[in-house]
Structure formats: structure tokens, C-alpha cells
Structure 1
């Protein structure tokens, strides 16, 4: 599994700010619909439902919201870089400025976990995170993410 199969350029955005986690999830739903053709409401509902189990803010300003939803054929990724960090109830209580969302089919089983592990490893790489935080062009952000895993796997 490679990030290039999980993340398309149109699913990478830079956003000024959000007023709440709920508003962030609504934006993720809208991007899922425009970039992947996934119905926004089930995506938003799935993300909110998953978040009730425990925060997906993993620390160091990074959040990895994810959900399994009906009527999805493959795993879809969305990346948002926030210009103004959002209070996200992260494990380290730090606000979040990098969000990598994964939406997976209900029955994706181990593939969902593999995708989550891949994204998590990528977002733990300090050089990748530094590059993401120093760029505001969505095309460059997409390239950084795609190249990061390819370089590490080589």
C-alpha cells in the first residue's frame, strides 16, 4: 500500500482556520465528496462517531481522524493544513494544524489498519512534518506526502 493510492491532489487543501472540530469534519466531508465522490453526510457522521470513542489527535499538532463508512469501494485520504491551529482535544493538549483523514469501507478489515499505520508512520517523520508546515501550496503538500513514503521505502 502506498500513499499515492490513498491521496489524490484534489484531496489536499490549505485552510485558514476552523472554529470547531465539528466544522473541520464538515469540511472533510465536503472534500470527500468533491475529491472522491463520497457522500458528505455519512463521512461526517462516521468521523464524529469515531471521535466519541476517543480523540484522534495524536499529538505534536497532528490529527488522524478516520472512519469506516458504507458504500465505499476503497480507502480514501484527505489532508488539510491549517494556517491557524485548532483546539482538538489531542492527547498532548496541543492544538492541531496538520490533519490526515482516512475514510475506509465498512468491511475493509486489515487494509484500514495498514493505511492508518502508513499514514501514522509518515506523520511521525519530523522532516516530512517540517516540510508540510513550511509550505502552503496544496500541490507541494501532496508531493511531499507522496515522496515521503516512497523515499522511506526505497
Structure 2
């Protein structure tokens, strides 16, 4: 089982990013994922994330979104996480604006792994006390530690 903490680094986490739209949030996340892996250009990541959003919003509700895509050209799963300075409209099913966005990009062949990671992320971000702590965190390192510690507390199943 892939660990969430292995998908992300403090360098791919950002606090209080100023974005005013879903599109801009996805652009920022695409740039962050691409910055970690030159095999994946940011514009290709963005196109995949936008295509996925057209199928239905990845807004989970309670201010959280999990944009995700499968792509050729990479051999590992990679993620980026931002907290926006102001919540943005993300067409979430509960109609609440979103301020926590966790993007996941996995290799095209990661069918089962993709679903397992998304299920784990959905479980993580349904933990409202965790989300409150993420919203209160001072910096990317603190946010990374919260994600890593949450997963460690759950045990690797």
C-alpha cells in the first residue's frame, strides 16, 4: 500500500495561496506536481485535471477537493497540497467553497492503486479535526507532519 506521506513532500505543500477560481487552483497544483518531476509538464497535468473535473467535481465537501488524474509518462504517484487564503467555488456536492486542495497524479497503469489512494485520501480528509488542524497550521512543514502523523496513527492497512 502506498503511503500518503510518500506521495508528497513539504516542497509540494503551500499555505495561504491566493487563488480566485477552481481553474487557478488547478494551475497552481499542476505547477507544483510538475516541479517535482520534469517528465510531466505542468500544462499536460493541468489538462488532465481539468478533463477529470468536467466529468464531475472532485470537491469532497466540507471545504476539501481531491483533483486527480492518471497520466502516461510517469512511473510513480505524485501529489501536491495547497491551502488557499480564501475558499473558492469548486462545485462541491455540498455547495461549500473549498480551501484544502490535494492533487494526485498517478501513472496510467495505476488503476487499483489510484482507487486505493483516493479512498485513503477521502478517509483522511473526512477527519474534521485533522482538517481544522491543517487550516490552523503555520507552514508547509507543519501541514506535512499532520498528514504523516494522521497516517501513522491509523496504522498501515
Q: TM-score, normalised by structure 2?
A: 0.93
In structure 2, how many angstroms separate the alpha carbons of the residues matched to 1:149 and 1:143?
Answer: 10
Greater mean deviation of Cα atoms: 36-45 or 23-32: 36-45
User: Quick check: 1:122–1:148 contact (8 Å CA) kept in 2?
Assistant: yes
Greater mean deviation of Cα atoms: 59-68 or 1-10: 1-10
State whether structure 2 residue 20 is matched by structure 1 residue 13.
no
Paired residue for 2:119?
Answer: 117
In structure 2, how many angstroms separate the alpha carbons of the residues matched to 1:101 and 1:20?
Answer: 15
List gaps (5 residues or longer) in structure 1: none
Q: TM-score, normalised by structure 1?
A: 0.95
Paired residue for 1:127?
Answer: 129
Q: How many residues align?
A: 154
In structure 2, how many angstroms separate the alpha carbons of the residues matched to 1:14 and 1:26?
Answer: 15
Paired residue for 1:41?
Answer: 43
Partner SS state of residue 19, structure 2: coil
List, as ranges, runs of 4+ consecutive aligned residues in structure 1 with deviation greater than 6 Å: none
List gaps (5 residues or longer) in structure 2: none
1:43-79 C-alpha deviation (Å, 9 max, x unpaired)? 0000000000000001000001001111011111111
